[in-house]
Amino acid sequence: MAPLEPYEKVQIDTDFLDEDEDVHGQVSCEKCHGGNPESNDYKTAHEGVVRDPTYPDPSKTCGECHAMDDEGGHPEITGKNKTNLHVTLAPFKNKIYLRADSDPCVRDKIDDAMGTNCSACHSSCGQCHVSRPESVGGGFIDGHLFQKTPPVETNCTSCHGSRVGKEFHGENEGIPADVHHTEHEMACKACHTGDEMHGSGMSEEPFDRYEVANRAKCEDCHKMAGSEKTEADKQGKDLVHPDHAIHQGKVSCQVCHSMPYKNCYSCHVGKDELGAPYFETAPSKMDFKIGLRPKTTEDRPEKYVTVRHVPVSPGLFDFYVKDALTNMDKAPTWKFATPHNIQLKTPQNETCLACHGNNKLFLTEKDAESWEVKANKDVFVSLKPAPSVRHNWLEQPELHLKKVDCLTCHDPSLKSPIRDCQQCHAKDSILLTKAESAPEYSLTNWNFTNNELIEKGDYVVGSNRIPALDVFGILLLILTFAGCAIHGILRFISRRRK
Amino acid sequence: MVGYKKIDDSWSISGMRSVSKLFVMFIAVFVFVLSNSATFASAEESGCVSCHTSLKNLLKITSAIEAAKPNVEKPAESKGEG
């Protein structure tokens, strides 16, 4: 995003004054911004001017018209401002306070550090709908014309750029852009509606941003096959693949459908000699890790989720106060994440075994530094034995894992997996009946039964046989017995004659 | 006669009071409207607009502001991704 020249930041487009273009231009400047419009000198004219009159409380500006919904009884837009996380940054502060030392002096210094280095990353009505956020230099988006939908580049990814923006637009080397962007040209607003952006409206401020009730959810568009669709449902594809029925409620969507994403490490903040804030982080790493979610909720019950390393480190505030974060164990540094680089097909969902038994994908103690092991103890996954070990009750487990589709035995419609060998090793093998192509056999047929399996390169004992050979073998057996019997009878008769 | 005069006086006194009340109300309304005129005035009528829509003015003033800033060394740059 190209920076604006100083004059560009404050130049008002005359269209703003046209009522047909923007009704907000009918309100006098000083009504919102203060200052002295009578003065011809820019210094005195700007005395008392408030650059962003919508932060932190927009009730006296935007709230004059946008406090309630059309019916006038339900808090809407500014009415929900106190629960707007873009304004309050509450979850971010909550996590820092959770890790912080309880000493009031230390807390004061942390507040100072956060005020200087972190809190600038807030937004407001004005910093979404009128100007770029101050944290990225500010300046009008379009000559003070109010934007009903904030532009993605100047107002969404200007703050959410390092991770979400780059993931969504495919700017991480070797990682494709999110399918919602490439295939459907969806922008942020398609999922993150104004209702969510303007605040949760919850009576209690959520501790974590994923606790927000009206947050975006994949299932708002993508319904399980057969589940009821509402009017609000959009054009999302139904989840017809049987894998969804198996993993639903246990595994988050991103575990199967996101690509490797960015993880950040070791942030340190400070001020230079001139008092300007700065930060330093260690190089970020592209990685993909599945961890456990320590606290699941009713509407998000998935235990296995993608987790991202957050940049917090014990020395985060060392410039301001040493050893400020003495309770690093209180919150994980590998945090539940929803990467924005969704693909239908990913390396981990290519086959079942690409994930099951692929220990590299799972977060374990080995992925953590010594100081963060305790903090992440509830996030680490206990690795299970390799699939070949778990299936060692089978004859030739490796061969079975290689040749048999997992869903053949792990049928999502059954309460437990099939463990009966004869379900496959029989003429009416489920290997084919599941495909609804149960063959009819003729005892005189000289072809293999279940010939489809042979064509796939598989020979399944008991399932693949030549019926005519079976008949021939039985006849041969009968003839052998008959020959023996006749031979015996003839010898018996010949002895009696003697 | 006495009764009529009495009535006339009372009329003139109450009339005077009504006029005074009207006058006070008029002043109050006038003051209220005047004090709130800025609220109802459009941005177009504001003195701010003449400057903030003029590229020439803005260039001149922002250049002056930039020039007035102390010529200091570049502040420490952040390293890494925020």
pTM of the predicted model, to two decimals? 0.80
Nearby residues of A393 by Cβ (< 8 Å), 6 or more positions away: A419
Q: What pLDDT is stored for residue A443 in this prediction?
A: 57
Higher pLDDT, A283 or B73: A283
Beta strands in chain B (DSSP E): none
At residue A441, does pLDDT exceed 60?
A: no
Least confident of A162-171, A326-335, A426-435, A446-455: A426-435
Query: Distances from the Cα of A423 to the Cαs of A91, A98, A465, in angstroms?
Result: 53, 55, 16
Q: What pLDDT is stored for residue A427 in this prediction?
A: 77
- Using the Cβ of A284 and the Cβ atoms of chain B, whether some distance falls under 8 Å is answered with yes
Count residue pairs from A and B with Cβ separation < 8 A: 102
At residue A439, does pLDDT exceed 60?
A: no
How much is the average pLDDT of A177-203?
Answer: 94
Collapsing DSSP states into helix, strand and coil, what is residue A202? coil
In whole angstroms, what is the distance from residue A356 CA to residue A348 CA?
9
Instruction: Kindly determine whether residue A279 and residue B80, on different chains, have CB atoms separated by under 8 Å.
Output: yes
A interface mutation test: which of B35, B36, B40, B48 has the most A CBs within 10 A? B48
Burial of B71 per CB tally in 10 Å (0-12, 13-18, 19+):
exposed
Query: Distances from the Cα of A93 to the Cαs of A99, A122, A142, A288, in angstroms?
Result: 10, 12, 32, 26
Collapsing DSSP states into helix, strand and coil, what is residue A304? strand
DSSP string across B43-65: GGGSHHHHHHT-HHHHHHHHHHH
In whole angstroms, what is the distance from residue A333 CA to residue A473 CA?
68
pLDDT 10s digits, A295-309: 888 888 999 999 999
A395 Rama class: left (phi>0) / alpha (psi -120 to 50) / beta: beta
Edge-to-edge strand ranges of the sheet holding A290-292: A290-292, A304-309, A334-336
ipTM of the complex: 0.72
pLDDT 10s digits, A25-54: 999 999 999 999 999 899 999 999 999 999
- Which pLDDT band, with edges at 50, 70 and 90, does A456 fall under? confident
| Chain B residues within 8 A of A10 when measuring between CB atoms | 52, 58, 62
Instruction: Kindly determine whether residue A162 and residue B79, on different chains, have CB atoms separated by under 8 Å.
Output: no
